[in-house]
Structure 1
Amino acid sequence: MSQASHLSYRAGGGGAVTRRAALLVIGVLAVQLAFIASYLGAFHRPQPHRADLAVVAPAQVRGELVRKLDGLPGRPLDAAPVPDEATAVHRIRHRESDAALVVDPRGTRDRLLVAGGAGGSLAQAVEQVVTRAERAERRSVTTTDIVPAGRGDARALSAFYLVVGWCVGGYLCAAVLAISAGARAATPRRATVRLGVLALYSVVSGLGGVIIVNPVLDALGGNFFALWGLGTLVVFAVGAATLALQGFLGVVGIGVAILLVVVLGNPSAGGAYPYPLLPGFWRTIGPALPPGAGVWTARSIAYFRGNAVTGPLLVLSAWAVAGTVLTLVSSMLRGHTHQGPELIPRAPDGPYA
């Protein structure tokens, strides 16, 4: 093709889509389809699987009752005997059991204790399963929510949306910091500055999210400063991981971050459907990803007096530390790669060079 023809081709729009752009578009399509598959796979048929049920019953019927509940078709319950109602309540409040069945030894009307603060859909699903099982034994059951969600927190979803917002802020902030001066952090100094800005953003983002959710909307209770600290950690963990991915993969790292946090992380976070209602794949990966760890911790702070948060906080801390370390490592590797050429002075242009 002659130079004139080439210029005409470019002017006519023939070069509007480069090979690199075409590859990125294909990548976007793959992420889009993965998004659809992940959300539909997780949500299209929620069914309880091994929901932890504490059983309080007289000794003479306890063993048989536990075996029947534990062996229901589809294994919706993981029934375990406990000595008394106080123990059952303790297990629910410490997030060791999802619900408890208290059998009336003198009548046919039993009680089911649930925790709506852990997710309204889970409490409802366990109630339906236990009600059917009781009806088969010619018994009835009344449900008592001993850890209800707040009045402004419909079906205990506020924690989920709060954490999703924090996660979005984390990877968007990291993406903006990276693409503002190139997709890769070329020097350790630049990477350190970006991490510092991200840390400051995380503090402000965490505070803003808590102010919106409470007191502005009165949607989620719990200790204000504990939620603020959680928000800071969630935003920084996601942002640092995004910076690390960008450092090694460039612009593609943004897509990988979205894949991990949005495509895989959000549907497996236990928000709309807590873990016992999710299919096996999402139920397994959820606790190991920032959205799942964040949602569990936010609900624990809001409704369970901060119980059972050690594991999720360690997960978030691991993402934050790994993201920080890998961001610095990638910058050092890039800096070493460019060190040689940068030390050679460029010859001046012009006739007197």
Structure 2
Amino acid sequence: MSTPPGTHHTHPDPRHLIAVVVLVPLLAALALWAFAWPAARTAPRDLPLGVAGPAAATAQVEQRLARQQGAFEIHRYADEAAARQAIEDRTVYGAVVVTDQGPALLTASAASPTVAQLLQQALAAEGAQPRTVDVVAAPENDPRGAALTASVLPLALAGIAAGAAVSLFGLRGVRAVTALVGASALVGVTAAAIAHSWLEVLTGDWWAEAATLGLSTLAVSSAVAGLAALMGRAGLGLGAGVLMLLGNPFSGAGSAPQMLPEPAGALGQWLPPGAGTTLLRSVSYFDGAAALGPAMTLTWWVVVGLGAVLLGGALKSRTATSGESAADRRPALAG
């Protein structure tokens, strides 16, 4: 059967086949490394822990803790009241208090149920059986922190979706910024309504929690939209990939940043999911203690991301204007 004139057969580019065969396993390996490596290497690394009481009495406790080399960063306090205050200020995750009635372990399951359990096991392994006091307890409806941990991925996905939508719909400049801010604000209000009002797993100030959830979403969406505005689809993929493959597993939401292998723990706190989780714990369970650092991190992402959105929109507008001017000049030159 003859081929009609003007008909062209298109053959698949073999490079596309090679790209699929090679890139998919690489992405799978990267995702497995990012999620499985921190989980498999979870252990305390310079975890802030307080020791309170007379120096002579606490010396033996410090020696026992020092046997676990590099596990704890010891902070010394004069008495139980000072140790409690340090826990409430989020300076330490817990404290061992030496009293006349025997040792006591102060924990804060609201900061990390995993760390609170680990401290009990660490002292039990050393032969100590102290009475345990949960200074800042996790909410009754989320004693293991599972709901808070589960919120990291949906917020990241919402931010990525908002940034991608702004890019794919062709929104630029002020319109893009307005869309990102509006969508993030609605996400924050909706998430607070679900987590605080319905599930009751957040127990702090409602509006502070909504603002934190919205700011976390805006940090992600502005980063994705900003990269897309400057780099196109490549920037969109880069932003989504980094925030999903690194931001989520490196956030330390399920344990604590000091429980992750380095540099995952430190890097995660510089990314929006990790900073957002830390800020949410502070405003929900600790009356805003130690909230300044993660709040500034999220604000930095928002400012840089929205700045990139405005810059990318201005550059595209200038390019379009230059193209129209050149098209207008061509007939005159031809004449």
| TM-score between the two structures when normalised by the length of structure 2 | 0.89
Q: Which residue in 2 is equivalent to 1:101?
A: 96
Alignment of structure 1 residues 235-250 onto 2, 5 Å? 235-250=217-232
CA gap of 1:60–1:6, structure 2 versus 1, over 3 A, is farther
Say if 1:340 and 1:27 are closer, same or farther in 2 by CA, change over 3 A: farther
C-alpha offsets along residues 78-108 of structure 1, whole Å, 9 cap, x if unaligned?
12220010000000011001110011335xx
Length, aligned pairs only? 329
Q: Secondary structure at the match of 2:68?
A: coil
Cα pair 1:58 1:105 within 8 Å, conserved: no
Q: Percent identical across equivalent pairs? A: 25
Q: 1:191 aligns with which of 154, 166, 173?
A: 173
> In the alignment, which of 165, 173, 182 is matched to residue 200 of structure 1?
182
**One-letter code of the match for 2:140?**
R
> Within 5 Å, which residues of 2 pair with 1:87-166?
87-105=82-100, 109-133=102-126, 135=127, 139-166=128-155
Q: Which deviates more, 285-294 or 20-29?
A: 20-29
Aligned residues of 1:286 and 1:293 also touching (Cα < 8 A): yes
The whole-number CA distance in structure 1 between the counterparts of 2:327 and 2:238 is 37
Let me know the Cα RMSD of the aligned residues: 2.7
Answer yes or no: is 1:253 the counterpart of 2:235.
yes
From the superposition, tell whether residues 34 and 233 of structure 1 become closer, same or farther in structure 2 (CA, over 3 Å).
Answer: same
Quick check: 1:150–1:220 contact (8 Å CA) kept in 2? yes
Would you say the 8 A contact 1:152–1:220 is kept in 2? no
**3-state secondary structure, aligned to 2:263:** helix
After TM superposition, give the deviation of residue 6 of structure 1 in Å.
Answer: 9.3
1:286 maps to 268
**Contact preservation (8 Å) 2:95, 2:106:** yes
Counterpart-to-counterpart distance in 2, 1:57 and 1:212: 43
Q: List runs of 5+ in structure 1 lacking aligned partners.
A: 348-353
1:82 and 2:70 aligned: no
313, 329, 351: which one aligns with 2:295: 313
Provide the rounded CA distance (Å) in 1 between the counterparts of 2:145 and 2:237: 30
Q: 1:52 to 1:213 in 2, by over 3 A?
A: same
Hey, what's the Cα distance between the residues in 1 that align with 2:103 and 2:308?
A: 55
Q: Tell me which amino acid in the other structure corresponds to 1:130.
A: L
2:324 and 2:25 map into 1 onto residues whose CA distance is: 38
Q: For residue 78 of structure 1, what is the amino acid of its counterpart? A: E
2:202 counterpart residue number: 220
Aligned residues of 1:111 and 1:141 also touching (Cα < 8 A) = yes
Return closer, same or farther for 1:22/1:257 CA change in 2, 3 Å cut-off: farther
Q: What SS does the aligned partner of 2:48 have?
A: strand
Following the alignment from structure 1 to structure 2, what is the Cα–Cα distance between the partners of residues 245 and 26? Answer: 25
Which residue does 1:167 correspond to in 2?
A: 156
- Give me the whole-angstrom Cα distance separating, in 1, the residues matched to 2:203 and 2:155: 17
Which of 23, 29, 34 matches 1:38? 34
Answer whether contact 2:152 2:248 (CA < 8 A) is retained.
no
Partner of residue 333, structure 2: none
AA at the equivalent of 2:323: P
Judged with a 3 Å threshold, the aligned counterparts in structure 2 of structure 1 residues 204 and 329 are, in CA distance, closer, same or farther, namely: same
2:58–2:98 contact (8 Å) kept in structure 1: no
Report the CA distance shift for 1:93/1:36 in structure 2 as closer, same or farther (over 3 A): same
Q: Equivalents in 2 of 1:35, 1:303: separation in Å?
A: 32
TM-score normalized by the length of structure 1: 0.85
Contact 1:166–1:206 (CA<8 Å) still a contact in 2? no
Name which of structure 1's ranges 122-131 and 53-62 shifts more when overlaid on structure 2.
Answer: 53-62
Letter in structure 2 aligned against 1:179: L
Letter matched to residue 103 of structure 1: V
1:265 offset after TM fit, Å?
0.7
Query: 2:48 maps to which residue?
Result: 52
TM superposition shift of 1:157: 3.1
CA shift in 2, pair 1:7/1:41, >3 Å: farther
Q: Could you say if the C-alpha distance between residues 278 and 322 of structure 1 is closer, same or farther in structure 2, counting changes exceeding 3 Å?
A: same
